[in-house]
């Protein structure tokens, strides 16, 4: 097929021109500043959605690090706990809080897949389609969920939402790289909580329960919440009283399969070689002064 896209002339370009000139399957958003509803403008976005309580939490994050810019990753999770994604307003908010440029913040947002560049569903369903899970059924699970969550015969795509984003029962589906649970493959996660040894049928049952407003218990780990609540935890904010905190984060965290190697070693008396105690650890560079 002949590509009829005109070749851009050299020289400075308006952002909408470079956006339009990219081919259809180029992930332009990944290399452009994030803008609301795909629009690129030079206006400062309205950051009023991040009220005094969010600003206070942002200041708390900054206080946790010797250099304020180190608070960027948790601050982006804080932004997602408010909006369900990192909007351009979120980028501006972080840049202003941390005295960074918007380009520096955008570079981080677009690098890590945990930062969503469009509004997420109430829940994020991540299906591992990396090698081991894929071979054991992960691809089939993803395909079945994409079709099941789609409409009018069109499956939902990677990072697309079934339902109105943020509304109860809405679900963003995504491919995920290895979720570090290969011993329990094929696995999927809902808001980063594990559901092990899935099948296409069990995955469909799970998303149907989510759409009904239920919160099926993960195979292990903390109880299921929703994407925004999980993001607040990832930002490092938990309930203050111990009982509520424990209820929010506690759960069985290990599976028999995961411990099988350690158990075999213990049964057979195998141990790792002792660490040589005469090898000095390399000195760390002293921290440099920074923002
Ligand atoms: S390949 Fe799926 S958890 Fe490792």
The per-residue pLDDT for range 85-134, each reduced to its tens digit, is 999 999 999 999 999 999 999 999 999 999 999 999 999 999 999 999 99
State the closest ligand 1 atom to the C-alpha of 179, by its place in the atom list counted from 1: 3
The mean per-residue pLDDT over the stretch 67-79 comes to 97
State the closest ligand 1 atom to the C-alpha of 128, by its place in the atom list counted from 1: 2
Q: Give the span between the Cα atoms of 76 and 90, in whole angstroms.
A: 8
Q: Indicate the Cα dihedral angle 267, 268, 269, 275, nearest 10°.
A: -110
Q: What is the pLDDT of residue 33?
A: 45
Tell me the backbone φ, ψ of residue 8, rounded to 5 degrees.
-65, 145
**Angle at 72 (CA atoms; ends 66, 76), nearest 5 degrees:** 150
Per the DSSP assignment, residues forming a β-bridge with 144 are none
Comparing 77 with 22, which gets the higher pLDDT? Answer: 77
Mutate to test the pocket of ligand 1, among 129, 133, 136 (most ligand atoms within 8 A of CB): 133
Q: Is there an atom of ligand 1 within 6 Å of 179 CB? A: yes
Using only C-alpha atoms, the chain has a radius of gyration, in whole angstroms, of: 22
Q: Is there an atom of ligand 1 within 6 Å of 134 CB? A: no
pTM reported for the whole predicted model: 0.80
Q: Give the span between the Cα atoms of 244 and 250, in whole angstroms.
A: 10
The per-residue pLDDT for range 1-54, each reduced to its tens digit, is 444 545 545 444 433 333 333 333 334 444 444 444 444 567 889 999 999 999
State the closest ligand 1 atom to the C-alpha of 138, by its place in the atom list counted from 1: 2
Q: Measure 127 CA to ligand 1 centroid, in angstroms.
A: 9
DSSP string, 252-266: ----HHHHHHHHHHH
Per the omega criterion (within 30 degrees of 0), is the bond before 109 cis? no
Which domains can be identified in the chain, with CATH numbers?
Answer: 28-109 (no CATH), 123-226 (3.40.30.10)
Q: Is there an atom of ligand 1 within 6 Å of 109 CB? A: no
């Amino acid at each position: 097929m002949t590509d009829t896209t005109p070749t851009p002339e050299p020289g400075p370009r308006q952002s909408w021109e470079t956006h339009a000139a990219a081919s259809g399957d180029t992930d332009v958003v990944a290399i452009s500043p994030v803008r609301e509803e795909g629009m690129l403008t030079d206006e400062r976005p309205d950051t009023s959605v991040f009220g005094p309580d969010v600003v206070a939490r942002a200041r708390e994050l900054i206080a946790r690090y010797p250099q304020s810019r180190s608070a960027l990753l948790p601050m982006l999770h804080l932004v997602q706990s408010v909006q369900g994604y990192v909007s351009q307003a979120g980028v501006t908010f972080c840049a202003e809080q941390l005295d960074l440029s918007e380009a520096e913040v955008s570079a981080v947002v677009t690098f890590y897949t945990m930062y969503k560049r469009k509004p997420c569903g109430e829940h994020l369903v991540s299906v591992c389609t990396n090698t081991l899970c894929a071979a054991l059924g992960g691809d089939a699970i993803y395909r079945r969920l994409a079709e099941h969550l789609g409409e009018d015969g069109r499956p939902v795509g990677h990072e697309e939402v079934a339902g109105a984003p943020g509304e109860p029962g809405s679900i963003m589906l995504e491919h995920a790289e290895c979720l570090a649970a290969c011993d329990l493959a094929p696995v999927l996660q809902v808001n980063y909580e594990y559901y092990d040894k899935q099948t296409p049928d069990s995955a469909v049952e799970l998303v149907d329960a989510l759409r009904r407003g239920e919160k099926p218990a993960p195979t292990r780990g903390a109880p299921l919440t929703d994407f925004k609540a999980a993001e607040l935890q990832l930002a490092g904010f938990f309930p203050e009283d111990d009982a509520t905190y424990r209820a929010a984060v506690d759960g069985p965290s290990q599976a028999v399969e995961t411990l099988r190697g350690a158990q075999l070693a213990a049964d057979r008396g195998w141990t790792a070689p002792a660490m040589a105690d005469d090898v000095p650890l390399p000195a760390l560079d002293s921290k440099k002064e920074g923002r």
